[in-house]
Structure 1
Amino acid sequence: MALLEIRNLSVSFETSFGGFKAVDGIDLTVDKGEVLAIVGESGSGKSVGMLAVMGLLPKTAKVTADVMTFDGADLRTLTSGQRRSIVGCDMSMIFQEPIASLNPCFTVGFQIEEVLRQHLGLNRSQAQKRAIELLELVGIRDAEARLGAFPHQMSGGQCQRVMIAMAIACNPKLLIADEPTTALDVTIQKQILDLLMRLQAEHGMGLIMITHDMGVVAETADRVIVQYKGRKMEEADVLSLFEAPKSPYTRALLSALPENAVGDRLPTVSDFVMDETAPGAAQ
């Protein structure tokens, strides 16, 4: 049985211009210990779909699915209390823009310890000791002193490490990483990706890597889902996707890699004929 199974997931929003479907009939599964990459340009519904799985979308969002199970539990029928016991514990998410995702009014130590107290029932002393261990685990130097730091007193890379520490605090079975290297310089990006992959291997977590970077996909994923305008264009193991992409959109993404530049110009998606009803365009 898959750790996470989603069938026919759709997410729509009502706007002043009418209804808008951000996710349109997505299917996916993730097994224990597997790394699944969800790739596509901004606005393709990658993050919205995973926020729906986590139950973190506003009440104005309409979420439907034929199947939405995590570790045998039906996410569609959980009470708010049951969902809170899973989200942040067995199923965690690293959000985009780490500085914006952390609460600026509380120290990073308080925010990590809150997760531990809420989900594991640790007392203050136990939570503080574990928070120090987690900061050391994710590579933050002088971890004990850093407990008292506020997010604005830390760099973007350090804040991302704090977010990772919070996400793995309860040894989750599934970790969702939403563009975990956004706005970080190249050196820090490599360090964060290496850290995530090491933690995933050590703890045997299922990992969903949301990205628009095909280089990240090649480096991290076992299997890949390509999304475009809320729909799944293609799904394949990572080697097959790079060697023989079936969807015109996947070919467009791969052709837009810097090494495929012709002169001083990169191909764009608009250079490709996008027939979304063609075989291989939406599977």
Structure 2
Amino acid sequence: MSLLTIRNLTVRFATATGPFTAVDGIDVSVDAREVLAIVGESGSGKSVAMLAVMGLLPDTATITADEMSFEGRDLLKMTAAGRRRLIGREITMIFQEPVASLNPSFTAGFQIEEVLRINLGMDRRAARERALELFRAVGLPDPEQKLDAYPHQMSGGQCQRVMIAMAIATNPRLLIADEPTTALDVTIQKQILDLLMDLQERHGMALILITHDMGVVAETADRVVVQYKGRKMEESDVLTLFEAPSHPYTRALLSALPEHATGDRLPTVSDFLQGRAFQ
């Protein structure tokens, strides 16, 4: 049995000009200890699909699916109380903007201690000690000082490490990482990816990595789902995807990588899809 199973998921948003379909009938599954990459351009519905799993979409969203289950538990029929016991404990998520995802009014230590108190029932002293352990585990410099630091007093990379510490605090079965290296410089990107992969291996988590970076996919994933305009275009193991992609959109994505470019201008995905650079 897959850890997470999604069949025929559709997400529509009510807008002033009518309904907008952001996710259109996709299927996704991930097994225990597996690293699944969901890749595609911005606006392809990658994040929306996973936010639907987390129950974090606004009231303007309508979610339908033939199945959305976690270890056989039906997420669509689950009560609000049941979902609260699951989300944030067994399924956690790292968001794109770490600084914006942390509450600027509270210290980093308070925010992770709150996760531990609410989800694991720890008292304040135990939560403080565990928060310090987690800050050390994710490689935060001066972890004792960072417990009392506010988000604006830390760099983007440090805030992302705080978010990772919060996400693994409850030893989740599944961690969803949504563009975890966005807005970080190249050196910090590598450190964050290495940290995520090390934690995934040590804790035995399944990891869903949402990204548009094919280099990240090549380095981290076991299996890849390619999305375009809310639909799944292709799914395969990572080696097959790079050596023998079957869908024209996947071939376009790979051909548009800068290292594959020739001539005076970088090609775009649109060039390939319109036949100007790919036959």
Q: Which interval holds the TM-score relative to the shorter structure? A: over 0.9
Share of identical aligned residues, percent? 73
* 1:59-112 Cα shifts (integer Å, max 9, x gaps): 220000000001221000111111111111100000001000000011000000
* Alignment match, 2:97: 97
Pairwise CA distance, 1:177: 0.2
Secondary structure at the residue paired with 1:197? helix
Distance 1:60 1:239 in 2: 39
Partner of 1:183: 183
Residue 142 of structure 1, CA deviation:
1.5
Which secondary structure does the structure 1 equivalent of 2:44 belong to?
coil
The equivalent residue for 1:6 is: 6
Distance 2:122 2:59 in 1: 32
Unaligned runs of 5+ in 2: none
1:106 aligns to 2:128 (yes or no): no
**SS class of match (2:149):** coil
- 2:59 counterpart letter in structure 1: K
Note if contact 2:252-2:273 (Cα within 8 Å) is conserved in structure 1. no
Contact 1:10 1:23 in 2 (8 A): yes
> For 1:149-197, what per-residue CA distance to the aligned partner results, in whole angstroms no more than 9, with x for missing partners?
0000000000000000000000000000000000000000000000000
2:131 maps to which residue? 131
Q: Is the 8 A contact 2:47 2:210 kept in 1?
A: yes
SS of the aligned residue for 1:272 comes to helix
Q: Which residue of 1 aligns with 2:261?
A: 261
1:264 is displaced (CA, Å) by 2.9
CA shift, 1:274, in A, is 6.2
Partner of 1:155: 155
In structure 1, what is the Cα distance between the partners aligned to 2:37 and 2:84?
A: 25
For the residues of structure 2 that align with 1:84 and 1:252, how far apart are their CA atoms?
Answer: 40
Counterpart CA distance in 2 for 1:200 and 1:24 is 30
Q: CA deviation at 1:272?
A: 2.1
2-structure distance, mates of 1:187, 1:41? 23
1: CA distance, partners of 2:264 / 2:201: 40
Matches within 5 A, 1:202-221: 202-221=202-221
> 2:8 touches 2:65 (CA, 8 Å); kept in 1?
yes
**Separation of aligned partners in 1, 2:71 and 2:103:** 30
Q: TM-score, normalised by structure 1?
A: 0.96
Tell me how many residue pairs correspond in the alignment: 275
Is contact 1:33-1:207 (8 Å) kept?
A: yes
Q: Is the 8 A contact 1:223 1:235 kept in 2?
A: yes
Distance 2:261 2:2 in 1: 40
Moved over 6 A (4+): none
Contact 2:44 2:228 in 1 (8 A): yes
So what's the TM-score if we normalise by structure 2? Answer: 0.97
Structure-to-structure mapping, 1:81-96, within 5 angstroms = 81-96=81-96
Q: How has the CA–CA distance of structure 1 residues 77 and 274 changed in structure 2, closer, same or farther, with 3 Å as cutoff?
A: farther
Query: What is the CA–CA distance in structure 2 between the aligned matches of 1:69 and 1:235, rounded to whole Å?
Result: 20
The whole-number CA distance in structure 2 between the counterparts of 1:17 and 1:172 is 40
Structure 2 CA distance for aligned equivalents of residues 129 and 56 of structure 1: 30
User: Displacement of 1:147 after TM fit?
Assistant: 0.5
- Once superposed, what is the RMSD of the aligned Cα atoms? 1.0
CA contact (8 A) 1:248 1:274 kept: no
Counterpart Cα distance in 1 of 2:203 and 2:98:
23
SS of match in other structure, 2:96? coil
Q: Any unmatched runs of 5+ in structure 1?
A: 276-283
State which drifts further: 29-38 or 142-151.
Answer: 142-151
Residue aligned with 2:48, SS: helix
Q: Which residue pairs with 2:222 in the alignment? A: 222
Q: Check whether the contact 1:260–1:266 (CA below 8 A) recurs between aligned residues.
A: no
- Secondary structure (helix, strand or coil) at the match of 1:187 reads helix
Distance 2:10 2:86 in 1: 22
1:64 pairs with 2:64: yes
Can you list the C-alpha shifts for 1:33-80, whole angstroms capped at 9, x where unaligned?
Answer: 000000000000000000001111012200000000012210001111
